[in-house]
Amino acid sequence: MVLEAKKNPNGWVYVIAGNYGPNDAVPPEAIAGAWKVDSSGTIVAGSFQANPKYKPNHDK
């Protein structure tokens, strides 16, 4: 996640359950949540936002 954050300053790093490739559409129920990333590409502590639509055991 740290490496992904460095690639996405001022963005979000998503926690995705399942085997999705970089070009696959990810359904909302497969996204557990996301971490906010600051302008330097660092994950913001305490910024995790859980996805209320997430369904555990959702596999591709």
Q: Give the number of other CB atoms < 10 A from CB of residue 37.
A: 23
- pTM for the model: 0.82
Q: Which of 8, 16, 19 is nearest to 44 (CA)?
A: 8
Number of domains in the chain: 1
What pLDDT, on a 0 to 100 scale, did the predictor assign at position 56?
82
Q: How far is CA 23 from the centre of its chain?
A: 15
Asked if residue 57 is part of any domain, the answer here is no
Within a domain: residue 52?
no
Could you give the CA distance from residue 60 to residue 18 in angstroms, rounded to a whole number?
6
Is residue 21 included in any domain, yes or no?
yes
pLDDT at 22: 84
CA distance 13 to 41: 10
Tell me which residue range forms the domain holding 32: 2-39
Is residue 29 included in any domain, yes or no? Answer: yes
Task: Please tell me the predicted confidence (pLDDT) of residue 57.
Answer: 74
Which pair of tokens denotes residue 10? 């001022």
Provide the pLDDT for residue 12: 97
Residue 10 lies in a domain: yes
Q: What is the mean pLDDT of each run of 10 residues along the chain (60 residues)?
A: 96 93 92 97 98 80
